[in-house]
Structure 1
Amino acid sequence: MLLGKIRVSQVCFMLTLALFFATSLIIFNQIYLTSKMVVDEEFHFPLGISYCNFNFLVWDPKVTTLPGLYLVSALLMGPLKLCTPYWMRFVSLLFSLFNVILFHKLFRKNERNEWRNILSSITLALLPPLYFFSNFYYTDVVSLTMILLMMVANEKKRHYSASTFGLLAVICRQTNIVWVGLVAVRYVLAELFTFTKLKQHERGIPAKDVYTFLRRLVKRPLRVLENSNVQFWLDTLAYSVTLGLFVLFLKINGSIVVGDKTAHQATIHIPQLFYFSIFCLIFAWPHFVGEILNFIAFAKTHKLLISIATIVCLVIVFTNTLVHPYMLADNRHYIFYVWNRFYGKFVLFKYAMIPVYIFAWYVIIKSIYSRHDISFVTFYLICVSAVLASQKLIEIRYFFIPYILFRLRIKTNTNSVFNIVLEFVTYVVINCITLNLFFTKIITWSRYEDPQRLIW
């Protein structure tokens, strides 16, 4: 009977994948007929096509990322001689389909019910901004695939593969080094924890054992390492090679950005964390609504903490709200309208949002926290801060990986199926609206002959 259920669920998943691909292909073709090039594709297409034709000696100084996307295009489409803008975009569509499979594998860690797993996987693949960019030749979808492959390999304790996929992720987008660091540090600490003999079978660091673990590690590091094995050192070396190669790249390049360095300089922009919390609140709203009363109760019990958090947020918003020139100049992105009609138009709006930020972060932290493993929430917060708070430009695409890591950690049960359904319906509705705007709204730019379109 159990075997029958497994087979039925597997067939259902395959049918879901087929439906996802068939529907996406129809949308993909309609998008291509509507617009042959959007925004940054004018930089990506020439390089992708050149690499696809195995010409690796060309480069555009306006491109900020390493050539991972173009190398993948060369590998997939080069041998088939499919080196046209259509097939370059098709690379993203293929990887978006592959991402559904990877979501399915990763959800299994927290989701034992196969049917909820399938629903959650297809829903996350439909995340509106991510799904939208699966139709264009951008780095986001391929970059995400490499991160997911790294995480799957890490879960299966295949650390050589995990470090290799981590390196590929960095070649797609340099900031992915932060997520490689997250996986590497958590692996090393988890292994060191087992070497302390505190708990033999834990795959994380329980909150109640953190102090004892750190004390033993600091006071008697050699004794802890005496319990290590050769495999630990080989696995650690694999991650270290990837991290070391990135440090070498930084030394040679002089910056994390490859090209257009003047427009993409690292800076301190803490409000990015606030904007990310709103992104999470909007796209995971069914999982947030049920926490409203809990947050109110928490705020009443911890008045001092909430007061301090509010004051800190007020100071940050007042002193550190930055506006990148690109955001004010490019009316082809939704963030242009959000900023100009709300944040930039009403002086008090950015302050009025502070209670929302605090609530959103309360739910995010509560969702990813586990007393059985304190390492994830700790290093997740550090990594998210490193990735986002160093960017001046508010770009929705920067939120993809942090959001997906957060969403993968949300535990579901029978009562929360309704939340997943609501999430699915929300994504479908938003995708329909944004696609309709893309097809119907024309934006005229004097420097382009073809009409421009509204994108995320």
Structure 2
Amino acid sequence: MSFSNSDLWASRTALVCIAVVSAVWQRKLSSIVPDPYLDEVFHVRQAQVYCSGAFSQWDPKITTPPGLYLVSYLVYLVTGRCDIDILRLVNITAICGILLSSFRILRLLREARGKEANRVDFQSGRRLQGFLFDAHSALNISLFPPLFFFSALYYTDVVSTLCVLESYITLLQSRRPRASELGSTVQTILLGIVALLFRQTNIFWVAVFPAGLAVLEVLKNGRASAENNATTKQTPLEALKHSWTHSTLYDCPVNQAGVEDYFIVIVSAGLAAVGRLPSLMKVAVPYFTLLVAFGGFVAWNGGVVLGDKSNHVATLHFSQMLYIWPYIFFFSFPLTIPLFLTPLSNRLFQGKIQPFLEAHLSIPTTSKPPRIIIAIICMILATLTVHYNTIIHPFTLADNRHYVFYVFRILRHHPQLKYLAVPAYYCCGWLVMHTLGISRDSQIPNQAESSSKTSRGKELKRAAAPAGDHSCPASFVLVWLATTTLSVVTAPLVEPRYFIIPWIMWRLHVPSTAAGGGSSSTPRAEKIASKPLSGVTGKVPALWQGYDLRLCLETGWHLAVNTVTAYIFLYRGFVWPQEPGKIQRFMW
């Protein structure tokens, strides 16, 4: 099977799966809830106004741009229909597009890491594993509950997310050697404008986020000299001096980074940027253009939101950056399982089960428990944030149809309860961040390196990632954190939908690797991956040897959450006393 055929086989199989599941969900919802529900009332009405050709009429209750209605108008021109059934199909198509875009991004990221599937021995079954991992991850992304739920409703979130992913693809493709610089610039600007037609906060994900990554890529171009200089340990001062003299970014993988490394990356980026200002300005042109265009829109509109501005006033709501950690952990806890199993596997799991867990759950070899002093500092800052910056929007407490209403009702049950949640925020945050560093292909420190751990406070790890390391770089984490902060802290209202794109960008960079897979696998991992698993009839096909079982657990978890929320929405409605006879339904 050729490289391209493998690509098609994996992606098409995942596409059929999401198409079938989403079609079943849409058909069941439309049969029980045939009329527009909640915000659909405003969206459907506005779409039908556009279908009638009255583009100047605008519902003041709608605060997002008209991108969804323009798409619906195009659908109307093709089908001649603008009823709720055809409008809901727009998001069914978009959720399938999200799967394909996610798969494409994962392939480009794997290609950028130098992990082309055709470089690995076909007989081992690993040639197809890369495609299978990426297709499976893309399927799980499209099944993400807060996103998948709205695929059967007429909301803006699904198409908006698809536009952001397409914009990210443009950035990744521009890094290829044969990429057209002019073509990439034009495509970046056009896709960015299209994304802004669906949601204003997309400006952070189509301008700030890719601009940060593009700048880092320029600063990493001198990495060859950095690698030569990093063959020995460096003090922070030496690393920063090297960044200044060679205009090169200091960076390291997440699974080797301490808190101090992130600060050094920031300072290193500033020092390296001084010597590369012309190159940085050149790559920033399309993103700066988008920011200027968005600024012009805000000045013309008199604010960021359209319509009802009184209930959507921007504010500083830093508690949002506490809520996001349990949010990500809840939906993605199967991906964090190796962080639990690593310290327990040698003590609790012995005999036949231990090789199975190590082969299929990609237990990391370099993760370390949180440092006490860092944990204390983080929880003090989180406690101050909770005390001084907990904002509860009136909409949150006024509508008991949303799950967030019940979360805040629990937190408000006792005055001290919101402070007791702080350790949970920290633990979830630690697990989420370190999941980006899970990799079986990481270089294992030798005895000499292990003996030097006592000098960790004075010396830095290698600036360059080890060959074959799938761990996410620390520089990406900083850009992701900065963009996420900008996109959510200005929102006074806590909505699960606001965290969809931050979750997707995080999920796209979570490593999924075979135990013992890759060119830099350890002898022990290779031995585990090559063994037939005891208790299983016959030998496991090479394709499944060392398969990342977390992906299967994640699929099952997302399907379970989607099933429960769909059942509650469809069959557990209730009636408000002030609106007798009208069924209210629970939703995200």
TM-score, with structure 2 as normaliser:
0.70
The alignment of Structure 1 onto Structure 2 pairs a total of residues equal to: 441
Most deviating of 155-164 and 5-14: 5-14
Partner residue of 1:381 out of 481, 496, 499: 481
The yes-or-no answer on 1:184 pairing with 2:211 is yes
User: How big is the shift at 1:51?
Assistant: 1.7
Q: Partner of 2:47 in structure 1?
A: 48
The structure with more radius of gyration: 2
**How do 1:272-283 residues align onto structure 2 when only pairs under 5 Å count?**
272-283=320-331
Structure 1 residue runs without a partner (length 5+): none
User: How big is the shift at 1:57?
Assistant: 1.2
Partner letter of residue 271 of structure 2?
R
The yes-or-no answer on 1:217 pairing with 2:280 is no
* Distance in structure 2 (CA, Å) of the matches to 1:394 and 1:49: 29
Cα pair 2:196 2:203 within 8 Å, conserved: yes
Partner letter of residue 183 of structure 1?
P
* Distance in structure 2 (CA, Å) of the matches to 1:255 and 1:246: 11
The yes-or-no answer on 1:348 pairing with 2:416 is yes
Cα-to-partner distance string for 1:373-417 (whole Å, 9 max, x where unaligned) = 543211211111111121111101001000000111100122471
**Against the structure 1 CA distance between its residues 199 and 73, is the aligned structure 2 distance closer, same or farther, given a 3 Å change threshold?**
farther
SS of aligned partner of 2:102 = helix
* Distance in structure 1 (CA, Å) of the matches to 2:554 and 2:27: 26
Richer in helix (by share):
1
Partner residue of 2:398 out of 329, 332, 339: 329
User: How big is the shift at 1:274?
Assistant: 1.4
User: How big is the shift at 1:366?
Assistant: 3.0
**Against the structure 1 CA distance between its residues 250 and 295, is the aligned structure 2 distance closer, same or farther, given a 3 Å change threshold?**
farther
* Distance in structure 1 (CA, Å) of the matches to 2:425 and 2:497: 19
* Distance in structure 2 (CA, Å) of the matches to 1:375 and 1:286: 25
**Against the structure 1 CA distance between its residues 254 and 368, is the aligned structure 2 distance closer, same or farther, given a 3 Å change threshold?**
farther
**Against the structure 1 CA distance between its residues 12 and 316, is the aligned structure 2 distance closer, same or farther, given a 3 Å change threshold?**
closer
Partner residue of 1:15 out of 13, 29, 48: 13
TM-score, with structure 1 as normaliser:
0.89
The yes-or-no answer on 1:258 pairing with 2:306 is yes
User: How big is the shift at 1:205?
Assistant: 4.3
Q: Partner of 2:559 in structure 1?
A: 428
User: How big is the shift at 1:217?
Assistant: 3.4
Q: Partner of 2:258 in structure 1?
A: none
Q: Partner of 1:418 in structure 2?
A: 549
* Percent of aligned pairs sharing the same letter: 28
The yes-or-no answer on 1:393 pairing with 2:493 is yes
Q: Partner of 2:76 in structure 1?
A: 77
Cα pair 1:44 1:138 within 8 Å, conserved: yes
The yes-or-no answer on 1:303 pairing with 2:302 is no
Q: Partner of 1:405 in structure 2?
A: 505
Cα pair 1:205 1:375 within 8 Å, conserved: no
User: How big is the shift at 1:91?
Assistant: 0.6
* Distance in structure 2 (CA, Å) of the matches to 1:12 and 1:385: 35
User: How big is the shift at 1:426?
Assistant: 0.5
Cα pair 1:295 1:359 within 8 Å, conserved: no
Most deviating of 423-432 and 410-419: 410-419
SS of aligned partner of 2:78 = coil
The yes-or-no answer on 1:207 pairing with 2:251 is yes
User: How big is the shift at 1:450?
Assistant: 3.5
User: How big is the shift at 1:191?
Assistant: 2.8
* Distance in structure 2 (CA, Å) of the matches to 1:74 and 1:119: 34
Partner residue of 2:192 out of 146, 166, 189: 166
Cα pair 1:49 1:88 within 8 Å, conserved: no
Most deviating of 394-403 and 352-361: 352-361
Cα-to-partner distance string for 1:233-260 (whole Å, 9 max, x where unaligned) = 3x54332222111011111222211121
User: How big is the shift at 1:280?
Assistant: 0.5
The yes-or-no answer on 1:123 pairing with 2:140 is yes
Partner letter of residue 454 of structure 1?
F
Partner letter of residue 492 of structure 2?
K
Partner letter of residue 169 of structure 1?
A
SS of aligned partner of 1:262 = coil
SS of aligned partner of 1:37 = coil
Cα pair 2:250 2:269 within 8 Å, conserved: no
* Distance in structure 2 (CA, Å) of the matches to 1:196 and 1:142: 38
* Distance in structure 2 (CA, Å) of the matches to 1:305 and 1:409: 24
Cα pair 1:271 1:321 within 8 Å, conserved: yes
* Distance in structure 1 (CA, Å) of the matches to 2:343 and 2:302: 45
Partner letter of residue 92 of structure 1?
N
**Against the structure 1 CA distance between its residues 352 and 23, is the aligned structure 2 distance closer, same or farther, given a 3 Å change threshold?**
same
Cα pair 1:149 1:162 within 8 Å, conserved: no
**How do 1:363-374 residues align onto structure 2 when only pairs under 5 Å count?**
363-368=431-436, 373-374=473-474
Structure 2 residue runs without a partner (length 5+): 118-129, 175-183, 228-247, 253-263, 345-366, 438-462, 466-472, 516-546
